[in-house]
Amino acid sequence: MKRVRAIVLTSGGLDSATVLAMAHRSGRQCYALSFDYGQRHRSELAAAARVAGAFEGTVHKTVALDLRGIGGSALTDDAIEVPTQPTSGIPVTYVPARNTVFLSIALGWAEVVGAQEIHLGVNAVDYSGYPDCRPAFIEAFGNLAAVATKAGVEGNPVKICTPIIDMTKAEIISAGVELGLDYSMTVSCYQATESGVACGVCDSCRLRAQGFLDAGIKDPTHYV
């Protein structure tokens, strides 16, 4: 039987690494897709390569984008500081339209390689309030994919898969550990050093640390 091909958005962080582990374990032929978009935490790109390389047969591609050209986020504009305390509303670490752009490119690559699915690690439980991590956004993009591509018009729309969208961070970590995933390979921090050392105080670090604590699993993250 022909293996299902899946594009897996792979940032180098905890969530996307877990999604890649899930897709690989399910027997899918995985195409890991990362983006060099001018992010402040560029050490996540090295982490993405490590994660993709840990799963035999996975094809890994990094696409270069310049989201610093529009800025508007603490991750793409050095003049905007990464917050170190919880904030209300949508935080400044939200990158405008990032998941829309990423999914659009993933959709194009899916058509090129004949992938039937796109997997991404968005989460609507333990997340930072980003609008493009909500189920409503995923459903809307799936509808777009069905009408905007050759595959969709021919009756074979690419399926958008979000396996961890309803899981807590602790549940995600527990699932990854059961799959044998080594989380020390990953980088989640919004302002990690070049070597991947995490600040321990940004929103992403707080969610990650709390997740390991809640899961009762030792946190392998190297913090400053």
When the pLDDT of each residue in the chain is averaged and rounded to a whole number, the result is 95
pLDDT value, residue 129: 80
Q: Rounded distance, CA 148 to CA 132, Å?
A: 19
User: How remote is the C-alpha of 200 from its chain's centroid?
Assistant: 19
Q: What are the chain's domains? A: 5-215 (3.40.50.620)
Q: What is the reported pLDDT for 21?
A: 98
Mean pLDDT of 180-201: 96
pLDDT digits (tens, 9 = 90+) for 141-181: 999 999 999 999 999 999 999 999 999 999 999 999 999 99
How far apart (Å, rounded) are the C-alpha atoms in residues 102 and 62?
Answer: 11
Q: What is the pLDDT of residue 117?
A: 98
The pLDDT value recorded for residue 86 is 81
pLDDT tens readout for residues 60-107: 999 999 999 999 999 999 999 999 888 788 999 999 999 999 999 999
The full DSSP string for 66-95 is -GGGT--STTT-TTSPPPSS--SSS-TT--
Residue from 155, 157, 153, 183 nearest 169 by CA: 183
